[in-house]
Chain A
Amino acid sequence: SQKIEQNSEALNIQEGKTATLTCNYTNYSPAYLQWYRQDPGRGPVFLLLIRENEKEKRKERLKVTFDTTLKQSLFHITASQPADSATYLCALTSGSSNTGKLIFGQGTTLQVKP
C-alpha cells in the first residue's frame, strides 16, 4: 500500500542548531514533493517544492533534499529559532496525477528551545 511517513515523535532542539526532519514514502512515484509549515489552529503554509529530477533546493535557512532511490526527503532548518517551532508536513504528488492533488504525511512537530 502507499504510505508517506514522517517521524511522529516531536523533535526538540536547542536554538541555533540545525533541525533535520525526515519524510519517507513507499509505493509512490512522485513527480514532486512539497514541505509545509502548520501552526496550531491554522492552515498549512507552503515552504518549498522540489522536483523528482532535483537533488536539493534552498531558500534562506531552509534546505530540502530529494532522493528518489531511497524514497526519502530531508528538510533542514539551519540556525533554528524558537519562532521555527511548528508542525512540518511533507506532501507529494503522484507522477500519474493530473489534478495536482497532494498526499500528506502526518507531520513532525518541531520545538526549538531558547
Chain B
Amino acid sequence: DTGVSQDPRHKITKRGQNVTFRCDPISEHNRLYWYRQTLGQGPEFLTYFQNEAQLEKSRLLSDRFSAERPKGSFSTLEIQRTEQGDSAMYLCASSFGQGPYGYTFGSGTRLTVV
C-alpha cells in the first residue's frame, strides 16, 4: 500500500440519482473516517469506523447517506436521491491504533450534482 485510494476521483450526477464512492485505506489501519469538504472550508466529519463497526455518525449524515466497511477493509459511502447541496469533495482518511496519529487522507471524490 502506498496510501489511501478513493474511486472515482470525479463524479457528475443528476439531482435525484444515487451515487456510491469507494475508499481503500492503508491495509494495517483499523480506523477509517469519511469527511466532506466544500470550497473554502475545512473538512467536516461524517462518520467513523473502527474495523468493520461504524462507531460514530455526524448529524450532517442525513438518512440519505449510508456508509459501510465490510470485513474492516474497504469502505463505501452511498448518497441516495442526491441534492445540489451534496456537491462537495468527499474525503476518506485512515489511521492506526488507539494513539494520536496523523491521518492519511485519500485524494477525495469530487461530486457535482446538476
Q: Which residues of A contact B (CB under 8 A)?
A: 4, 8, 31-32, 34, 36, 41-47, 49, 51, 89, 91, 93, 99-107
Contact = CB atoms under 8 A, between A and B. Distances in A.
Interface size class of B (residues with CB under 8 A): 20 to 34
A104 B56 contact: no
B41 A106 contact: yes
B26 interface: no
B31 A100 contact: yes
Contacts, number: 68
Contact of A49 (B42, B55, B102, B105): B102
Nearest to B45: A101
A93 to B, nearest CB: 7
A78 B1 CA distance: 32
Contacts of A4: 42
A51 B48 CA distance: 22
Contacts of B106: 43
B44 interface: yes
- Most chain B C-beta atoms within 10 Å of own C-beta, residue among A32, A91, A93, A101: A101
Q: Is the interface of A mostly helix, strand, loop or mixed?
A: strand
Contacts of A51: 100
B85 to A, nearest CB: 18
A43 B105 contact: yes
Contact of A101 (B48, B101, B102, B108): B48
A43 B102 contact: no
B56 A105 contact: no
Contacts of B13: none
